[in-house]
């Protein structure tokens, strides 16, 4: 930084020095007062210049005629109305996922306001590599992105694809979108607009029977979708309350704490992440309106690679073709079709184990119990399951407990508050209670940290034992209202499949200032960290907003909330800002508070 500043200021300071020296020599022949004036002129001019010209070490110099610096473009300013709802985006927008109205090959290097979400509060927002989806305030689903509309080189506004289903949560995969309704039903749609067309002569998905009477009640749909049913009848007043999707598998949690899994495609159990091997799928050769008959299903088996071919990764020498991982009757089945499998199956080994939370990495699965214990299974090539350095297997087919109290005193009680997974990284938010003061909160991470995603100042591509992220762990602050120390809680953690992490830290929420600091670290090749640079960051750092101040997530009561069609939904709604880490990009949006 100083070397570059010296090169920039050198000619100007030398020029000032020459003029001041001449004035000093003339003043010496006159009187000493002029010498003092010349010295003040020299020092004051140099200080004024250095105070006005800032050159940062990460700034890109573009030298033009006269050695002038071209000013760096500034992000869009936020609306002047302090009560307005505005959302921020940064990072890659080459596929139009974070700003569908303005796709661009040039990434947004710092947080910028997007117009298409002005005045809008959402229920959920999901970003994928080439497509995205969200739920507006009315519970309707919108989809957009180049992967959804196709590569036609134009911009498209988000398209309404699922309506009147009161959707509360979404999960995106390569070819399918899963939606959970408030009533506990799970729906699946295609992520390609050309695959959402209803087949000619087929009944509408909302119809009660094959004859299609949805038009009579005004429920007729123009977009093809399917409902994913549990393979067995749920208990009375039991319904699905949460879903989590990896690259090839889906987990679902019921209100009774039961865990179900769903194969998205033929690779759903390649690492044993499903938790079972045998299941049934609809026979594609049978008409859909009679698929509920048992004889109309195919019984298939997805064998994990560690069981089908235990030595597949043990030698680089040429070997015979590995044993097939799927049943022979799956060869001609199209697993990209939304009706590839229309059921959720309870994981047998977890029957009788109550779950409070589910999470899914790209190829791994996690369950947190109400007592704060964590079970993990699936891919473990980078240690993302957090089972320790002693476990060197890259595939774990049986749910195994993650030990989160290593290197802590025996008198300290460790309780997992939440588990978050994304790609090959996993984060555990753990409460440490020593019984002698306020319980502290740690953030532990495991998995592939080759881009600094572990947050521990290293770039290790394999971390089997969860490591503590010191910058956001064990923090306390004094609360003026309670006149006592209290822990600073990490919240709203989001992990991108491509390797960067966003975290909200409530460091100022109870101090009268309000808000939660946004902390960023990990991969930054496309400016997905929003700090104006393109170098990965191995430790958490705060982020600046468009106004130059540190970016903080707020909670408030919105005067007006609009849906994505531009209509007013409600007034006086409690909303809060949330962070989403996408594929080489990030979003801060307003979410309707529960």
What share of the chain in percent tops pLDDT 70? 77
Question: How many domains, the chain?
Answer: 2
* Residues pairing with 171 in the sheet: 178
The boundaries of the domain holding residue 8 are: 2-52
Tell me, yes or no, whether 544 lies in a domain: no
Token pair recorded at residue 168: 């509360």
The answer as to whether 190 is a domain residue is: yes
* Listed residues 344, 377, 411: the one ending a domain: 344
Distances (CA, A) of 383 to 209, 292, 399: 48, 41, 15
Whether residue 33 lies inside any domain: the answer is yes
Residue 275 lies in a domain: yes
Span of 502-511, 533-542, 577-586 with lowest mean pLDDT: 502-511
Q: Are residues 194 and 47 in the same domain?
A: no
Residue 89 contacts residue 589 (beta carbons within 8 Å): no
Q: What's the token pair of residue 218?
A: 């005004």
DSSP state of 489: -
Name the percent of the chain lying above pLDDT 90. Answer: 64
Residue 64 located in a structural domain: no
CA–CA distances in Å: residue 309 to residues 270, 305, 317: 11, 6, 15
Please tell me the predicted confidence (pLDDT) of residue 486.
87
| Residues 6+ away with beta carbon under 8 Å from 24 | 34, 35, 38, 39
Q: Which residues, including other chains, have CB under 8 Å from residue 6's CB and lie 6 or more apart? A: none
Placement of tokens 């050769």 in the chain: 285
Tens of pLDDT, residues 14-52:
343 444 444 444 444 444 443 333 343 333 433 333 333
Residue with tokens 């006159």: 30
As separate numbers, helices (DSSP H) first and strands (DSSP E) second, the chain gives 4, 36
H helices of 31-159, in order, are 32-52, 146-149
pLDDT bucket at 518, cuts 50 / 70 / 90: very high
pLDDT value at residue 28: 41
Domain end, chosen from 287, 314, 344, is at 344
Q: How far apart are CA 312 and CA 308, in angstroms?
A: 9
Does a structural domain hold residue 61? no
Q: pTM here? A: 0.83
Same domain? 189 vs 331: yes
Q: Give tens-digit pLDDT for 245-274.
A: 999 999 999 999 999 999 999 999 999 999
547 is written with which tokens?
């106004």
| pLDDT value at 444 more than 50 | yes
- Asked if residue 327 belongs to a domain, the reply is yes
User: Which residue bears the tokens 């909302």?
Assistant: 206
Inter-residue contact 460 to 454 (CB < 8 Å): yes
388-412 pLDDT, tens digit each: 999 989 999 999 999 999 889 999 9
State whether residue 116 is helix, strand or coil.
Answer: helix
Alpha helices by DSSP H, listed for 413-535, are none
Asked if residue 104 has pLDDT above 50, the reply is yes
State the chain's mean pLDDT as an integer: 83
* Per-residue confidence (pLDDT) for residue 320, from 0 to 100: 56
Residue 307: inside a domain:
yes
Q: Which of 52, 72, 88 is the last residue of a domain?
A: 52
């Amino acid at each position: 930084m100083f070397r570059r500043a010296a090169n920039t200021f050198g000619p100007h300071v030398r020029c000032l020095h020459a003029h001041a020296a001449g004035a000093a020599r003339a003043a010496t022949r006159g009187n000493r007062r002029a010498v003092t004036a010349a010295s003040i002129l020299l020092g004051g001019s140099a200080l004024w210049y250095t105070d006005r010209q800032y050159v940062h070490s990460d700034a890109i110099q573009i030298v033009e005629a006269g050695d002038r610096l071209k000013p760096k473009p500034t992000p869009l300013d936020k609306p002047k109305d302090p009560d307005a709802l505005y959302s921020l985006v940064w990072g890659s927008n080459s596929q139009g996922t974070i700003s569908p109205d303005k796709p661009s090959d040039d990434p947004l290097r710092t947080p910028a306001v997007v117009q298409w979400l002005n005045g809008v509060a959402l229920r959920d927002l999901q970003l994928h590599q080439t497509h995205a989806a969200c739920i507006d305030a009315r519970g309707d689903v919108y989809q957009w992105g180049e992967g959804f509309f196709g590569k036609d080189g134009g911009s498209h506004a988000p398209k309404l694809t699922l309506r009147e289903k009161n959707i509360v949560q979404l999960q995106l995969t390569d070819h399918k979108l899963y939606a959970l309704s408030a009533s506990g039903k799970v729906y699946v749609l295609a992520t390609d607009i050309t695959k959402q067309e209803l087949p000619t002569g087929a009944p509408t998905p909302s119809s009660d029977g094959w004859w299609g009477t949805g038009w009579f009640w005004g429920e007729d749909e123009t977009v093809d979708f399917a409902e994913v049913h549990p393979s067995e009848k749920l208990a009375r007043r039991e319904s699905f309350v949460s879903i989590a999707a990896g690259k090839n598998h889906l987990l679902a949690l019921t209100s009774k704490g039961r865990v179900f899994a769903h194969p998205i495609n033929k690779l759903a159990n390649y690492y044993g992440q499903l938790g079972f091997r045998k299941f049934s799928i609809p026979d594609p050769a049978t008409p859909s309106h009679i698929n509920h008959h048992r004889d109309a299903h195919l019984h298939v088996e997805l064998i994990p690679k560690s069981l089908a071919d235990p030595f597949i990764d043990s030698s680089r020498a040429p070997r015979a073709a590995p044993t097939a991982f799927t049943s022979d009757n799956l060869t001609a089945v199209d697993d990209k079709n939304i009706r590839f499998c229309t059921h959720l199956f309870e994981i047998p080994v977890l029957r009788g184990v109550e779950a409070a939370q589910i999470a899914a990495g790209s190829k791994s699965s996690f369950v947190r119990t109400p007592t704060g214990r964590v079970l993990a299974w699936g891919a473990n090539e980078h240690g993302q399951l957090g089972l320790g350095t002693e476990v060197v297997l890259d595939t774990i087919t049986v749910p195994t407990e993650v030990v989160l109290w290593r290197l802590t005193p025996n008198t300290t009680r460790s309780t997992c508050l939440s588990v978050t997974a994304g790609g090959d990284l996993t984060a555990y938010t753990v409460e440490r209670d020593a019984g002698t003061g306020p319980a502290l909160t740690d953030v532990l991470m495991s998995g592939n940290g080759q881009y600094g995603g572990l947050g521990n100042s290293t770039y290790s591509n394999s971390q089997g034992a969860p490591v503590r992220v010191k910058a956001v762990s064990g923090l306390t602050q004094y609360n003026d209202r309670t006149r006592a120390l209290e822990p600073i809680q990490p919240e709203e953690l989001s992990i991108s499949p491509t390797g960067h992490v966003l975290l909200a830290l409530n460091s100022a929420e109870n101090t009268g200032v309000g808000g939660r600091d946004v902390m960023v670290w990990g991969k930054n090749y496309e400016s997905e960290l929003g700090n104006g640079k393109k170098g990965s960051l191995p430790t958490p750092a705060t982020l600046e907003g468009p106004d130059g101040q540190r970016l903080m997530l707020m909670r408030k009561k919105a005067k007006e909330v609009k849906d994505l069609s531009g209509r007013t939904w409600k007034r006086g709604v409690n909303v809060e800002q949330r962070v989403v880490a996408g594929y080489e990009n990030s979003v801060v949006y307003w979410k309707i508070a529960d």
